Amino acid sequence: MSRAPCLGSVAMLLVAIPLQGQDRPLPAVPQSLRLEEAVSLASQYSPIFRQTANDRGPAAWGVRNAYGSFLPSFSASGSMDYRGAGSQTFLAQEFVQPSSTIGSGYSLGMSWQLSGRTLSQPGLSKAQLNAADATIAGARLNLRSQIVSQYLTVLQAQEQVALSEVQLKRNEEFLRLARARYEVGQTTVLDVRQAEVARGRSEVALLRGQQSVTVEKLRLFQQIGVAAPEDPSVVTLSDTFPIVEPRWTLPELLSSADAQNPDLNSLRALETSAVWGERAAKSGFLPSFSASAGWSGFTQQFTDPTSLILSGQDRAQQSADQCVYTNAVLINPGAPQIDCSLFAFTAADEQAIRDQNNVFPFNFRSQPFFARLTVSLPIFTQFDRSLQVSQAAAQADDAREAVRARGLQVRTDVSQGYYGLMTAHRTIQIQQSNRTAAGEQLRLATERYRVGSGTFYELLDAQLTAQQAEADYISAVYEYHRAVASLEAAVGRSLR
């Protein structure tokens, strides 16, 4: 019996995949938080952005898998089996197995396939990877836009708190002025009470403003994806945003947006992916080739070799009987006789039978090598291929229309953002003039009340006007900054 090379062991590779990003400790927020630091932290820890960024890994492996499909696949298997003693019937014959058997086997296989879909898969996978990258780039820019907007909201809330503090100081000064005039008999207690009410309202407005700052900071930390400190007031936002006259032209911004808008580029990548999907569907009409080859071997051993030994003894006895018959009947008298002792069953023969039976588990008997090459050309598939091509073509057309629609939307967003920015910049100038005039009005009303030529109602009206003008100026400033951020998001790049 031929002996196959012994398979000593089968190597198993245990790949430990680290659970990156799971239960990762969140970083501490720096006490002085700059905008770029906030954006950087959000890129690492924002749950929504990380869900989008996670799509790149499977897309990258899809490209590797597409190129790997050109290579053959290999497989190896091993087996062990046990079959008990007994009898079984096949048709009209009964087969008896006098002893239980144990066995083992191995199989080495190789297979390879090539089709039109295999040829188109790399282009499709690369298009899907580019689409994933474009989607991630768009998500990153949208995340930055959200962080900038919330960062500005916190700064605006802090400006409102500063305005409330100034207003509280004014009302405290007005209260001291009203009490001083009341003590010298130049006014009534009504002015004092009105000044006390005004101061109380200022205190309430200050408390609500401080609460608003805390709430907006908490929302900022939530968008970043980090845990807020127990006292959010320990974190200060250190960046400032200058007000500059817009120097950009609308055609320049539209050209930049057409080339750099991440959402538009993402849809273009999806369009390319859909076109490749249509090509892959059409490749179903091409023939496919497949090849396979394999090697195998097996062992089979009786757990009790007694039946084999008895069978060997029977064969030896039959040979000895045939030898005696030949000597007695077939050989002429006087001719040399055959030595029938040569056919005697000896202990060496018994040991040889035991050695031949002792093959489990690695003394394999090799099977013939086999190889197969197949060419397949589907003729009629119940219009399944035509359906797939039609669906893929419709998806490609939808992707083209989505790109066109998004392009029109981008032009609208950029134009709207540009005109909104110009309006916001002019509004700041107007609100600055209003704030200066209202401040002068408040100063004159205060002096008139101080010298007794004006009423406290005039002072309160001037104060409310000045407060509203300052609040409108703050709103105009931050509307300008938000307009810049919105225009940056529409264009797809930083403008300052």
- Tell me the C-alpha distance between 213 and 159, whole Å: 10
Kindly report, residue by residue over 21-42, the tens digit of the pLDDT: 445 556 677 888 999 999 999 9
Q: Phi/psi of residue 286, each to 5°?
A: -85, 155
Find the range with the poorest average confidence among 15-19, 40-44, 196-200, 295-299.
15-19
- Tell me the C-alpha distance between 28 and 229, whole Å: 8
pLDDT at residue number 72: 92
pLDDT at residue number 138: 87
pLDDT at residue number 391: 93
Is residue 253, in this structure, part of any structural domain at all? yes
**What string of DSSP letters covers 288-337?**
EEEEEEEEEEEEEEES-THHHHHHHHHHHHHHHHHHHHIIIIISPTTSPP
Q: Which two tokens stand for residue 259?
A: 């080339």
Across 153-167, average pLDDT: 94
Q: Which residues contact 449 (CB under 8 A, 6 or more apart)?
A: 177, 455, 456, 458, 459
User: What proportion of the chain, given as a percentage, has pLDDT over 90?
Assistant: 47
Of 341, 357, 376, the residue that ends a domain is 376
Kindly report, residue by residue over 377-395, the tens digit of the pLDDT: 888 888 888 998 999 999 9
pLDDT at residue number 3: 38
Q: How many domains does the chain have?
A: 2
Is residue 5, in this structure, part of any structural domain at all? no
Find the range with the poorest average confidence among 4-8, 313-317, 456-460.
4-8
CA dihedral 445, 449, 455, 457 (to 10 degrees): 50
235 and 200 belong to one structural domain: yes
Is residue 496, in this structure, part of any structural domain at all? no
Across 77-83, average pLDDT: 91
Of 324, 359, 376, the residue that ends a domain is 376
pLDDT at residue number 93: 76
| Tokens 């100063």, residue located | 443
Range list of β-strands (E), 339-445:
365-366, 370-376
Of 347, 376, 405, the residue that ends a domain is 376
How many angstroms separate the most distant Cα atoms in the chain?
171
Residue type, 58: P
pLDDT at residue number 24: 57
Q: Please answer whether residues 21 and 227 qualify as being in contact, where contact means their C-beta atoms are separated by less than 8 angstroms.
A: no
pLDDT surpasses 50 at 6: no
pLDDT at residue number 16: 36
Is residue 21, in this structure, part of any structural domain at all? no
DSSP state of 244: -
Across 393-420, average pLDDT: 94
Q: Indicate the average pLDDT of the chain.
A: 87
- 367 vs 104, 110, 259, 358, CA distance in Å? 13, 16, 63, 19
pLDDT surpasses 70 at 45: yes
What is the band of 244 on the pLDDT scale with cuts at 50, 70, 90? confident
Is residue 397, in this structure, part of any structural domain at all? yes
Is residue 294, in this structure, part of any structural domain at all? yes
- Tell me the C-alpha distance between 38 and 25, whole Å: 17
Across 309-314, average pLDDT: 88
pLDDT at residue number 26: 62
What is the band of 15 on the pLDDT scale with cuts at 50, 70, 90? very low
CA dihedral 469, 474, 478, 479 (to 10 degrees): -10
Q: Which residues pair with 79 in a beta bridge?
A: 105
394 and 486 belong to one structural domain: yes
* Cis, bond preceding 98 (omega within 30 deg of 0): no
301 and 268 belong to one structural domain: no
297 and 243 belong to one structural domain: no
Across 263-287, average pLDDT: 89
Across 162-175, average pLDDT: 91
CA dihedral 300, 302, 306, 309 (to 10 degrees): 10
Domain that holds residue 211: 32-71+120-285+383-491
Kindly report, residue by residue over 107-135, the tens digit of the pLDDT: 999 999 988 888 888 888 988 898 899 89
Across 348-367, average pLDDT: 89
Q: Please answer whether residues 449 and 455 qualify as being in contact, where contact means their C-beta atoms are separated by less than 8 angstroms.
A: yes
Is residue 3, in this structure, part of any structural domain at all? no
367 and 230 belong to one structural domain: no
125 and 246 belong to one structural domain: yes
pLDDT at residue number 493: 85
Kindly report, residue by residue over 412-465, the tens digit of the pLDDT: 999 999 999 999 999 999 999 999 999 999 999 988 888 888 888 888 888 889
Report the CATH number at residue 52: 1.20.1600.10
67 and 105 belong to one structural domain: no
SS3 333: coil
